[in-house]
Amino acid sequence: MEKCSICGREYPEAALKKMVQISGRKAYLNKICPACQAIVLNNPNYYYLEENKKNG
């Protein structure tokens, strides 16, 4: 179980999405639960981290 970076609730790791939060010129990696993903998707400072590289 891992904690959601936003709400702090614990979720199975597979349920958490890695998202990058841009703050100023820095980027922070957050793990975000499904409920909070719906919130941060409306926030332009958050991006999904693409873990699977396609064709290099």
Which residues of the chain form contacts with Zn ion (CB under 5 A)?
Answer: 4, 6-7, 33, 36
Nearer to Zn ion by C-beta: 7 or 27? 7
Sequence-separated (6 or more) residues with CB below 8 Å from residue 41: none
Closest separation in Å from C-beta 48 to Zn ion: 15
Here the tokens at position 29 are: 């990696």
Nearer to Zn ion by C-beta: 10 or 22? 10
Q: How many residues are present in the chain?
A: 56
Closest separation in Å from C-beta 54 to Zn ion: 28
- Yes or no: say if 33 and 15 are a contact pair by the CB < 8 Å rule: yes
